[in-house]
């Protein structure tokens, strides 16, 4: 382990130890991240620094986008069919349910995803990672949950990619999820990870969530029954909106 990795690991361990001390002193458990997390160098730039202000919701709705079943085509949930050619990489099926805090399905919910390609690169002008772009993979899709709260995407497993948080910093493979609620102003964003990733221990974004159980809820599980023979591996991941088992959601400002 390099000096940089040792320092990063020590910083993460110190913050987690402080959290355990908080719990021992009677503080409630946290399901979300610290807004300022020292190992995540730019965290102070990625969340609001001023108190929230009341706004007129009707005014916002005049300029917010409208979503609905008629606006979402079934093909949008299959990211491997959006171009004429075959995308490169490991075909992956991701399926799960959107649930409330009582385990009830959240129906007719707009779910959007975006991700890097198999080489770990986004189709974005600010992404300067020298990995190749895939002309047959855009990396974005969406669907509407059914009556059982279920969503399903067919995609390519994203690759890890470097980021400039510290020397030799790499983000674990992940897929960004967005849920819109009943209006654009209710939008929440989170990330899904893949099991067994060796980068978890050195990822300050993942580690900024102090509670291990809350971190574990971001990791999908391999499902052999969901796996399509000779075609795609299957992963299952549920999203819980509220309650003690709630999925972690990003603070406003987002993360990489």
Strand, helix or coil for residue 5? helix
- CA-to-CA dists, residue 144 to 34, 64, 148, 180, 234, angstroms: 31, 19, 11, 11, 19
Strand, helix or coil for residue 249? coil
Strands 91-99 and 170-171: unpaired
Burial-class residue 94 by CB neighbours within 10 Å (0-12, 13-18, 19+): buried
Burial-class residue 227 by CB neighbours within 10 Å (0-12, 13-18, 19+): middle
Distance, in Å, from the CA atom of 190 to the CA atom of 176, rounded to the nearest integer, reads 6
Distance, in Å, from the CA atom of 227 to the CA atom of 91, rounded to the nearest integer, reads 10
| Tokens standing for residue 30 | 């946290």
Contacts of 96 (CB under 8 A, 6+ apart): 150, 151, 220, 236, 237, 238, 239
3-state secondary structure 15-35: HHHHHHHHHHCCCCCCCCCCC
Q: List residues with catalytic annotation.
A: 122, 161, 171, 174, 176
């Amino acid at each position: 382990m390099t000096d940089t990795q040792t320092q990063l690991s020590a910083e993460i361990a110190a913050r987690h130890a402080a959290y355990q001390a908080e719990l021992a002193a009677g503080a409630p458990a946290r399901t979300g991240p610290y807004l300022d997390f020292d190992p995540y160098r730019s965290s102070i730039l990625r969340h609001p620094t001023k108190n929230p202000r009341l706004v007129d919701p009707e005014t916002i709705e005049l300029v917010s986008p409208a979503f609905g079943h008629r606006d979402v085509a079934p093909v949008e949930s299959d990211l491997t069919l959006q171009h004429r050619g075959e995308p490169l990489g490991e075909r992956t099926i991701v399926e799960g349910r959107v649930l409330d805090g009582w385990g009830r399905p959240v129906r007719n919910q707009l779910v959007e995803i975006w991700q890097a390609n198999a080489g770990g690169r986004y189709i974005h002008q600010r992404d300067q990672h020298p990995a190749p772009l895939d002309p047959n993979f855009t990396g974005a899709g969406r669907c509407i949950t059914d009556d059982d709260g279920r969503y399903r995407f067919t995609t390519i497993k994203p690759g890890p990619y470097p980021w400039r948080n510290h020397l030799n910093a790499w983000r674990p493979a992940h897929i960004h999820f967005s849920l819109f609620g009943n209006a654009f102003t209710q939008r929440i964003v989170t990330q899904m990870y893949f099991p067994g990733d060796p980068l978890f221990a050195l990822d300050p974004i993942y580690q900024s969530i102090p509670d291990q159980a809350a971190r574990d809820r971001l990791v999908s599980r391999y499902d052999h029954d969901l796996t399509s023979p000779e075609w795609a591996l299957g992963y299952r991941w549920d999203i819980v909106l509220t309650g003690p088992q709630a999925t972690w959601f990003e603070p406003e400002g987002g993360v990489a």
